[in-house]
Amino acid sequence: MKNYHSSFIINYFLILFITLLPLNMFAQGLLSGNNDTFTRADSLRGSLRAERTWYDVTFYDLHIKVNPDEQTIEGYNTIHYEVKESYPVMQLDLFDNLNIDSIIYKGQALKYKREYNAVFIEMGELVKPGEIQQLTFYYSGTPTVAKRAPWDGGFVWDKDDNGNHFVGVACQGFGASSWWPNKDHQSDEPDSMRISGTIPSNLVLASNGRLRNTIEEGDWTTYEWFVSYPINNYGVSITIGDLVNFNDSYESETEGTLDLRYYVLSYNLDKAKKQFEQVPPMMECYEDWLGPYPFWNDGFALIETPYLGMEHQSGIAYGNDYLTGYAGTDFSRIGLTFDYIIIHEAGHEWWGNNLTSFDIGDMWIHEGFCTYSEALYVECINGYDTAMDYVNAKKPTISNREPIQGPYGVNQEGAGDMYNKGMLMLNTVRHAVGNDDLWKEILKGLQTDYRHSIVTRKDIIKYINDKAGKDLTPVFSQYLDYTSIPQLQFKTTKKGKNLIVDYRWEADAEGFNLPFKYKDRNGNWQTIHPTLEWQSVKLKKMKEKNLEWAMKEFYVVVKNVK
C-alpha cells in the first residue's frame, strides 16, 4: 500500500447543545481538539521518522482472544512488510498498559524498548530493499476501557437486555494500538488483513470483511474474518454479543449484486429488518453521486454495537436504537425521516475508508466530505431545495473558534467544526464551480482516481482545481486555516433607474477569490467575481431593497458598508 468525525428558547438551546457536542465530535474517538503544546508522546505517535518509513505494511494477520468475564485480551499479530530501505530499528505501537510477551523474527526473540506507547524493536540485521519480511508480535493484558465511546477510545464491556455480554471497541484518534500492535499511523494501510477472534462459544463475533471460517473448540469459538482491500487501522474492529445474522442485497445497474449483511442482537431482529430497509436506496444515492460502493467484494455490513456508531470498514458499527434522526433527535429542522447513523457512517465508506487522509491533521477530508454526503442523500430523497435547508440549518452550530485544519506530525486533528463547517465549505465550493454535472464528476473522480488510497489536503484541492478549471486554493485556505467567515462588503449608489453596486471580499487568505451570485430584476442568478479589491457592477432597473444575494448557496457574511 502507498505510504502516502421560555420553552422555545430552552428547546432551541437544548437542540443546539446536542448538535454541537456529539455531532461535532462524532466518530472521532478521543481527539482532544486543538492544542498549542505537544509532547514527545504526541510526536512519537503522529510523526514519520526513519523507524517507521523504512518499511511498508502489506498484511496484518491479527489473532485475538477476548475474555469478557475477566475483561482481558491476548493474542498476536503477524506483520508482513516490504523493506523500502535498510534500517536497524522498527517502530511499532502498543499502549503501555498492555504487555509485550515477545516479538519473534525468523525464529528469534528480538530486543526492544518502550517509550510511551511506541515500541522500538532492534531488528538485529539489515535487510535489503525490496524483500518481503514478517515478524510476530505477541501481547496480552487489560485494555483501556472506553468511558464514553465513541467519543473516547477503547473497549466497551456491556450487557444486553438479557444479561449477555455485549462487547465492542472503537478507537479513532485514540489509537488502534490501544488494543492490537500495529504501525499506528494513517499513512500506511495493509493491502489486506485477517482478523481472527476467539470468544466464549455462547456469543458471536462480527468484524470487517467476510467471515471465512468458524472453529469450535470446547467452550471457545474462533471466528476468522478476512478483509480483501486496504484498511486503515481505526477502521478495524470487533463486536461480540448474542448476535444473529440476516442478509439482503443491493442491485447496481453497473456493478451487479452487492451483498448486504447485518448482525444484530437477537431480540432486535424484527426492528432491524424494518430499519435497515433504508440501506439499498442509500446505496443507490451514494452510487449516483460518489460512484460504486468501494469494497464490493467484501460486501457492506451493519453491526449492532453497545455504542452509538463508527465507520468501521465493511462492518459499520450501528447503535442508534432503530430510531430516526440522531438517537431519536431531529437536529435538522427539515423533519428527518431517516436513521442518521446509517446514512452518516455509511458515507465514511467513501470518505475515510476509500480515501484516507495521510495525516490526522487532514481529518476534515473524512468528516467534512462525509457530512456533506448527508446533504447529497437529502437531495436524493427530498430534492435540492430541502438539501439546501439541511445544509444551512447547521450554520448556528458552528463556533468558528479554531481552524478545522489540524497541525501535522503530532496526531492532532482540527476543530470539531470540521463536520458542519466542512459541509458548508463544500456546498460553497459546489456553487463556486457553478456546474452540478461537473461537480458530480469531481466527486466521483476523487473516489475513482484515488481509489483505496492515502490522500493529502494538497491532493484534494489540486484535483478540484484542475477539474473545475479554477484556482480555489485561497477559498479552501480561508475555510480550513482561519476562523473568520469571508465577508462580502458592498455599498450602493442609485444612478437613474439603475443601481451601482461596489463590492469586495474581506478575508484572511491571500488572493481570496470566491465567485458569488446575486439575483437580477428578472429573478435570475448572476455571477460576479469579487476579490480583495473594490469592483463595481451596474444593475439595470434595480432597487436596493430588491438586491438579493445567494446566502443559501454560500457560507459567507454579507455586509452593507454604506
Q: Which residue has the higher pLDDT, 8 or 452?
A: 452
Q: Is 114 exposed, middle or buried (0-12, 13-18, 19+ CB in 10 A)?
A: exposed
Mean pLDDT of 288-311: 98
pLDDT reported for residue 27: 41
CA distance 368 to 429: 12
Residue 150, all three cell numbers: 465513541
Asked if residue 150 has a cis previous peptide bond (ω within 30° of 0), the answer is yes
**pLDDT of 59-108, one tens digit each?**
999 999 999 999 999 999 999 999 999 999 999 999 999 999 999 999 99
Residue 313's pLDDT band (cuts 50, 70, 90): very high
CA distance 213 to 455: 34
pLDDT of 468 strictly over 50: yes
Residue 512, all three cell numbers: 481570496
**pLDDT of 341-375, one tens digit each?**
999 999 999 999 999 999 999 999 999 999 999 99
CA 468 to mean position of chain CA atoms: 24
Q: What angle do CA 279, 224, 29 make, to 5 degrees?
A: 60
pLDDT reported for residue 331: 84
pLDDT reported for residue 36: 65
CA distances from 89 to 32, 120, 527 (A): 30, 6, 58
Mean pLDDT of 478-485: 98
CATH number of 7-28+346-479: 1.10.390.10
Eight-class DSSP state of 143: P
Mean pLDDT of 209-230: 98
SS3 225: strand
Mean pLDDT for the chain? Answer: 93
Asked if residue 203 lies in contact with residue 225, where contact means CB atoms within 8 angstroms, the answer is no
pLDDT reported for residue 16: 37
466: CB partners within 8 A, 6+ apart: none
Helical H segments across 311-395, by residue range: 340-347, 364-382, 384-392
**pLDDT of 103-141, one tens digit each?**
999 999 999 999 999 999 999 989 899 999 999 999 999
Q: Which residues pair with 259 in a beta bridge?
A: 249
Phi and psi at residue 472, to the nearest 5°: -100, 15
Phi and psi at residue 514, to the nearest 5°: -65, 120
CA 375 to mean position of chain CA atoms: 16
The CB density around residue 217, as the number of other CB atoms within 10 Å, is 9
H/E element, 200: strand 192-200
pLDDT of 533 strictly over 60: yes
Q: Work out the end-to-end distance of the chain between its first and last CA atoms, rounded to an integer number of angstroms.
A: 57
Q: What residue spans define the domains of the chain? A: 7-28+346-479, 60-319, 487-560
CA 293 to mean position of chain CA atoms: 15
pLDDT of 25 strictly over 90: no
CATH number of 487-560: 2.60.40
- Residue tagged 460504486 (cell numbers): 292
**pLDDT of 537-546, one tens digit each?**
999 999 989 9
Nearest alpha carbon to residue 461 among 447, 475, 449: 475
Mean pLDDT of 44-49: 96
Eight-class DSSP state of 145: B
CA 395 to mean position of chain CA atoms: 20
User: 487-560: same fold as 60-319?
Assistant: yes
CA distance 229 to 294: 9
CA distances from 544 to 362, 489, 541 (A): 42, 15, 10
pLDDT reported for residue 421: 98
Number of C-alpha atoms within 13 angstroms, CB side, residue 136? 13
Asked if residue 165 lies in contact with residue 68, where contact means CB atoms within 8 angstroms, the answer is yes
Fold of 60-319: Immunoglobulin-like (2.60.40)
Secondary structure (H, E, C), 88-134: CEEEEECCCCEEEEEEEECCEECCEEEECCEEEEECCCCCCCCCEEE
| 420-433 and 436-449 helices, crossing angle to 10° | 120
Q: Which residues pair with 113 in a beta bridge?
A: 120
pLDDT of 442 strictly over 70: yes
Residue 559, all three cell numbers: 455586509
CA 334 to mean position of chain CA atoms: 24
Lowest mean pLDDT among 28-42, 318-332, 396-410: 28-42
CA distances from 399 to 346, 363, 417 (A): 26, 18, 7
Mean pLDDT of 526-551: 95
Asked if residue 492 lies in contact with residue 562, where contact means CB atoms within 8 angstroms, the answer is yes
Q: Is 274 exposed, middle or buried (0-12, 13-18, 19+ CB in 10 A)?
A: exposed
| Strand order across the 309-310 sheet | 243-252, 256-265, 300-304, 316-318, 309-310
Q: Which amino acid is at 526?
A: Q
Question: Which percentage of the chain shows pLDDT scores above 90?
Answer: 91
Mean pLDDT of 135-150: 97
pLDDT reported for residue 333: 80
Q: What share of the chain is helix, strand, coil (3-state, %, to 5)?
A: 30, 35, 40
Q: What angle do CA 203, 165, 101 make, to 5 degrees?
A: 80
Eight-class DSSP state of 242: S
Give me the DSSP letters along 448-494.
HHTTTEEE-HHHHHHHHHHHHTS--HHHHHHHHH-SSPPEEEEEEEE
The radius of gyration of the chain's CA atoms, rounded to the nearest angstrom, is 25
Helical H segments across 276-383, by residue range: 279-290, 340-347, 364-382
CA distance 485 to 509: 11
| pTM score of the predicted model | 0.93
SS3 201: coil
pLDDT of 26 strictly over 70: no
